[in-house]
Structure 1
Amino acid sequence: MVKTVVGEETQLQLAELRLSQSGIFAQVGLVIGKLSSILDKGFVFDLIPTPPNDAGEPPCSLVDSFKDVDKKKGSKAKSSADSSSLVIDEGWVTEHARQVSRMLVGGIRVIGIYVWIGESTFKNSTITLCQTVKGVAEAAPLSASDWDERLLVHICYSPRRWTCRNCSLASNITPSHLRPCDFKMGKVLGTLQSFRCMYNFDMRLPIYQENMSSIRTLNDILQNEISIHAKELKGAKGLVDGNLVIEDEPCTSDGQHKVELLLPFMKDACLEASSQKEIVGVLVFAGSVCSYAYLNSKQPISEALADIKEDIIMSLRSRLDIICDEADRQTGVTADGVTEENNEMPTLETVHQLILEPLRKQATLQLPRRIFIPWLAGTFICDYLQPSETFEVLKDHFVELLSMEPPADASTILEPETGTPSLSIQSFWAVAAPLYPASVPESLANSPPERRPCITHFHAIFHWQRI
């Protein structure tokens, strides 16, 4: 459980100045930072206000909680400052958290919410605040084995002071789930150490003839495979600057550290390798993922490795979420399975349709590429661009989601991923004999299923390849 929270004084003082000069009496936003189970500490890097919703309305407002006053008993009406409570558009705040979490790198997460309200209003709104914290936690999970707590930072304007509470994510929320933390400000960002990893992957998934009529959606298949890969990646050994990482070993050197992940060859081979199912196609999910992670100087290097691994998986999931969101907006798929808007760029729906066909066609879908933008004190945050998008679209993302302007100098934006993750669907023979196409007769490749040889032990030949 987090007992002590340290906030970056430079950023928090700027946030307090902004709030005090705004003239508003209520604001809600996200707390960006890091939680360490080993140190039992939380580190707050910055506060990001939740923007107005699509209708231009603020995400929170004050209402009078004591409109009915018992005049017969001579009770006096309370002042609006004492009787007000906070109303929060929880759905909008959680959506903001979901989108911001995509833009954060290893070890930096949405770790709670903050509110700018008076002391009495805070006391009248504890249940609402706890429910919002829980919604943010569900929209922006920290890891696969998620923490059961988040932070609630209260900036009180009357009297002016900062307090922080640990909010338990219990199913039945009560005010007792808020526990005070020791909160202080100091130099946090300047002590962070940087870790960088370029991770290459190549997942080859079989498409079985008997499953083609009842195949799940392509997104479900890929999300399941990423979950399987995450379990294997969790057990991978790590090299930092060429040295094998030992558990609880501290990092004593400065500068950016190079991380390499080592996965056992052919570990946990798929049990379906021994089945007698006929393979009619191959779904290839491959590419490279660049990951950054940041570590407090008192944390062991093993935490940086764990952050890198989680960041790789979260990055793959974020890209799939983005193209699924884009697929929902795409219209006008032609009879050839290619969108009318771009005859060379298939969508996720296009690739899914080709799986249901006799697999005589091939298609490749490029996933969004990950770029890195300078943030605070030498750290980076990220964003994702579709193949047809340029840096110009970043401006709206950063202004709306992070309340910051993107860098004016485009040369400071990093694009380290040389092999952007892609998804392709191929016939079995295109993968089995790529260098010897003449060795596969066209009559055999296009023959009915009952006349083709039954190909088994697929994973023994085409298991995942990792570099």
Structure 2
Amino acid sequence: MVKGVVGEEERLSLAEQRLSTSGEPAEVGLLIGKLSRESDRGYIFDLAPTPSNETGQRTCFLVNKDDSNNKKKKNTNPSNSSPSSSLVIDMDWVAEHAREVSRMMVGGITVVGVYLWAPEAAFKNSTLLLSQTVKGVADAAPRPKNGSDEMLLLHISYSPRRWTCRSCSLSSNITSSSLRPCDFKMGRVLNSLQAFRCIYKLDMRLPVFSEDFSGTRTVNDILRDTISIHAKELKDAIAMVDGDLVTVTEDLPCTSDKLHEVELLVPFMKHGSLEASNRKEVVGVLVFCGTVCSYSYLSPKEPVSQVVADIKEDITRSLRTRLDIIAEEAEREMPAACRDESETNSEMPDGKSVYQMILKPLRKEIVLPFPRRVFIPWLTGSFVCDYLLPSETFEAVRDHFVELLSIDTPTDDSFMEPEKELPNLTARSFWDATTPLYRASDDAVNKRKSRVEAVKGDANNSVTSGNIKGIFAAFILLIAVIIGSLLFARNSSEL
């Protein structure tokens, strides 16, 4: 149970100033921070207002009841709030905002709840709606498995002016009484965070069975199973922080201000993912390899094991997010591809239609590149991230940061790309994948074929001269043998 919440004073003060000068009667958005199950404390780093929906309508507004005609009227003036006013919130759009923002968070930082800018009366008249909104955000935004089972609701009231925070338990049915008050104060939170980075090299080889080629399972299904298998292996990985082994018995808080480097050592075949079943025919191998970069941040009094768990979960979540992006890209391309049958049946050189394979059964060898993860500085040395398809540029994600997080427009120089070898999936034949020393790219294979054909051509052109040289050499050898025999016979007679 969350008993106390600390908000970053600088960011929340700026948000209050923006809200008080905006003239808006109501606003809803997301809380970004951390919730700790062990310490029963929560941290709020920033507020992210939910933008208008696709039709341009506001996500949250006040409604007043007109006693004269018993009709509800939208209130657009903060000073006209009445004791009978209530809230209208587009819960689905707030949940979609939470889903998008959660993709941009790194290890240990998540969407921890919802904030509301509204008068006290409207808040009291809409507690059930607010509880349902918080529940929708919790369902849309993945939360750490070892994290808290609660979400926060921060109410910023301007009539009267005050801040109040409540926690909402997700383990029970949502009712109007699901919100429980908790202590809230402002302080310096971001300056006390410890930063950790992990450059994780992913290299998996999983068998592909005959049913994967002939059945109805799509590449998407196979990949999700692959990532789930690796998540189990990653959970048992041994961690080293700054070269020191992290053990449970000696797990102490980290106090250094430098960037800590984390290395994960995965046990070999811990869960038997490479074992072939005798009831299935192995016809190929999935090679899933590349580099994944993860950042994570440790709050005060948290042990190092917490940040290690956050990094492991962030790596798995990052892979799943990339897979979701590929699937969404394939769904966007599918209608256009269906209109052009030739485009569907061809391998497009621009790399777009390759993602349509994700929605189809695995029937041939494929090479599927994953989006790359890029980072941008966010608050007080911390980072947020986004994902770029191979054909995209920074311009494609620049608007994401501005719209979803309400931050200043980032420049190209501020983007970081620490992932040198992008994650990619390759489906290969069994022997080609299990003998990596003899594998070659398509270009290398074509070059090798060209060299073989050239050698064959030279051999055909020189076959005649080769035969003449062979006959001449045999004739010389015969003469040498005859002369030697004569000399040997002569020497024997003299003796």
TM over 0.5: yes
* Contact map agreement 2:4 2:183 (CA 8 A) in 1: yes
| Structure 1: gaps of 5 or more residues | 71-78, 439-467
> How far is 1:275 from its partner?
1.5
What is the letter of the counterpart of residue 387 of structure 2?
Y
Deviates more, 1:233-242 or 1:132-141: 233-242
Inter-partner Cα distance in structure 2 for 1:346 and 1:121: 50
Judged with a 3 Å threshold, the aligned counterparts in structure 2 of structure 1 residues 338 and 185 are, in CA distance, closer, same or farther, namely farther
2:123 counterpart residue number: 122
What is the letter of the counterpart of residue 298 of structure 1?
K
2:356 counterpart residue number: 349
Judged with a 3 Å threshold, the aligned counterparts in structure 2 of structure 1 residues 173 and 336 are, in CA distance, closer, same or farther, namely closer
What is the letter of the counterpart of residue 256 of structure 1?
L
2:418 counterpart residue number: 416
* Contact map agreement 1:84 1:124 (CA 8 A) in 2: yes
1:44 counterpart residue number: 44
1:296 counterpart residue number: 299
Secondary structure of the 2:53 match is coil
Inter-partner Cα distance in structure 2 for 1:150 and 1:437: 50
Larger radius of gyration: 2
> How far is 1:113 from its partner?
0.3
Judged with a 3 Å threshold, the aligned counterparts in structure 2 of structure 1 residues 39 and 170 are, in CA distance, closer, same or farther, namely closer
* Contact map agreement 1:395 1:405 (CA 8 A) in 2: no
Secondary structure of the 2:82 match is helix
**Cα deviations by residue, 1:355-378 (Å, 9 ceiling, x for unpaired):** 22xx3xx43121110000000001
* Contact map agreement 1:367 1:420 (CA 8 A) in 2: yes
Secondary structure of the 1:100 match is helix
1:17 counterpart residue number: 17
1:332 counterpart residue number: 337
What is the letter of the counterpart of residue 12 of structure 2?
L
* Contact map agreement 1:281 1:425 (CA 8 A) in 2: yes
Q: TM-score, normalised by structure 2?
A: 0.81
Deviates more, 1:145-154 or 1:372-381: 145-154
* Contact map agreement 1:127 1:174 (CA 8 A) in 2: yes
Larger RCO (CA within 8 A; separation ≥ 6): 1
Secondary structure of the 1:406 match is coil
2:174 counterpart residue number: 173
From 360, 371, 385, the counterpart of 2:388 = 385
Judged with a 3 Å threshold, the aligned counterparts in structure 2 of structure 1 residues 42 and 198 are, in CA distance, closer, same or farther, namely same
1:432 counterpart residue number: 434
* CA RMSD, 1 decimal: 2.3
**Cα deviations by residue, 1:210-250 (Å, 9 ceiling, x for unpaired):** 44322412212211221222122122221100001133411
2:276 counterpart residue number: 273
Judged with a 3 Å threshold, the aligned counterparts in structure 2 of structure 1 residues 43 and 363 are, in CA distance, closer, same or farther, namely same
1:371 counterpart residue number: 374
Judged with a 3 Å threshold, the aligned counterparts in structure 2 of structure 1 residues 389 and 144 are, in CA distance, closer, same or farther, namely same
* Contact map agreement 1:202 1:285 (CA 8 A) in 2: yes
Inter-partner Cα distance in structure 1 for 2:129 and 2:413: 44
| Structure 2: gaps of 5 or more residues | 71-79, 441-495
Inter-partner Cα distance in structure 2 for 1:167 and 1:242: 40
Deviates more, 1:231-240 or 1:426-435: 426-435
> How far is 1:266 from its partner?
1.9
1:185 counterpart residue number: 186
Inter-partner Cα distance in structure 1 for 2:350 and 2:142: 37
> How far is 1:351 from its partner?
5.9
What is the letter of the counterpart of residue 332 of structure 1?
A
Q: TM-score, normalised by structure 1?
A: 0.86
Judged with a 3 Å threshold, the aligned counterparts in structure 2 of structure 1 residues 155 and 351 are, in CA distance, closer, same or farther, namely closer
Inter-partner Cα distance in structure 2 for 1:152 and 1:432: 53
Which structure shows the bigger proportion of residues in helix conformation? 2
1:74 counterpart residue number: none
Inter-partner Cα distance in structure 1 for 2:183 and 2:172: 25
2:199 counterpart residue number: 198
> How far is 1:339 from its partner?
5.9
From 319, 323, 326, the counterpart of 2:326 = 323
> How far is 1:177 from its partner?
1.5
Inter-partner Cα distance in structure 2 for 1:344 and 1:31: 37
2:58 counterpart residue number: 58
**Cα deviations by residue, 1:316-340 (Å, 9 ceiling, x for unpaired):** 0110011111000113276586667
**2:28 is the counterpart of 1:28:** yes
Q: Percent of aligned pairs with the same residue? A: 58
Aligned pairs, number: 425
* Contact map agreement 1:66 1:83 (CA 8 A) in 2: no
Q: How does 1:167-246 map to 2 (within 5 A)?
A: 167-246=168-247
From 284, 301, 305, the counterpart of 2:287 = 284
Judged with a 3 Å threshold, the aligned counterparts in structure 2 of structure 1 residues 88 and 348 are, in CA distance, closer, same or farther, namely same
Inter-partner Cα distance in structure 2 for 1:118 and 1:341: 56
1:450 counterpart residue number: none
Inter-partner Cα distance in structure 1 for 2:14 and 2:212: 58
Inter-partner Cα distance in structure 1 for 2:423 and 2:438: 26
Inter-partner Cα distance in structure 2 for 1:30 and 1:283: 39
> How far is 1:394 from its partner?
2.2
> How far is 1:407 from its partner?
2.4
* Contact map agreement 1:372 1:381 (CA 8 A) in 2: yes
2:92 counterpart residue number: 91
Deviates more, 1:422-431 or 1:195-204: 422-431
Deviates more, 1:120-129 or 1:422-431: 422-431
Judged with a 3 Å threshold, the aligned counterparts in structure 2 of structure 1 residues 25 and 80 are, in CA distance, closer, same or farther, namely closer
Inter-partner Cα distance in structure 1 for 2:359 and 2:127: 47
Inter-partner Cα distance in structure 2 for 1:314 and 1:135: 19
1:76 counterpart residue number: none
**Cα deviations by residue, 1:95-151 (Å, 9 ceiling, x for unpaired):** 000000000001110000000000111000000000000000000021235632100
